[in-house]
Copies of this chain bind each other. A is one copy, B any other.
Amino acid sequence: MTKNDNNSQHRYWLQRCIDLAEQQSRTPGGGPFAALVVHAGELVAEGVNQVTGSNDPTAHAEVVAIRNACAQRNDFQLAGCVLYSSCEPCPMCLGAIYWARPDAVYYAATHAQAAKAGFDDSFIYEQIPLPGPERSIPFHPVALDSAEAPFDAWLANGERRDY
């Protein structure tokens, strides 16, 4: 495959994301975002934003696409897959992508473009490096002697399945 072919393939899948996102922006319970997971040139699963419709603040397009693709593949990893998104992923979706481990991510709209429509993720990106207690939602550590007990039990579990 030439570089141009590759580029037109990425544009093809991203345009499908954009079309789905546009449709979802008119659907009750939706938001203007969509994502796809593709493996070896074939669609594995799609996902659209369902935050308000499903009362699930984690139901961003990328998270939904990852869940659907993993269910489809019967695996909790997306090795060999590419994730396409109509928009640059937020920190939650970035984290989900790192846990699902696809090979690469391609996206169309940037954060700056999303911000114009009222979706400003940069606030969350700015919160991450702050010390926990100084965040707008404070994250407080509480030292407990028992804090490592779950990890000790995990390491002692000979049948554990690492992930």
| CB–CB B150/A24 < 8 A | yes
| CB–CB B101/A74 < 8 A | no
| CB–CB A25/B55 < 8 A | no
| CB–CB A150/B22 < 8 A | yes
Count of interface residues, chain A, beta-carbon cutoff 8 Å: 95
By a CB distance below 8 angstroms, the chain B residues around A93 are 92, 95
The answer to whether the Cβ of A104 comes within 8 Å of any Cβ in the partner chain is yes
By a CB distance below 8 angstroms, the chain B residues around A96 are 57-58, 92
The answer to whether the Cβ of A43 comes within 8 Å of any Cβ in the partner chain is no
The CA-CA distance from A54 to B6 in the complex, in Å, is: 33
Beyond A96-B58, A139-B89, whether A147 also contacts B113 by CB under 8 A is yes
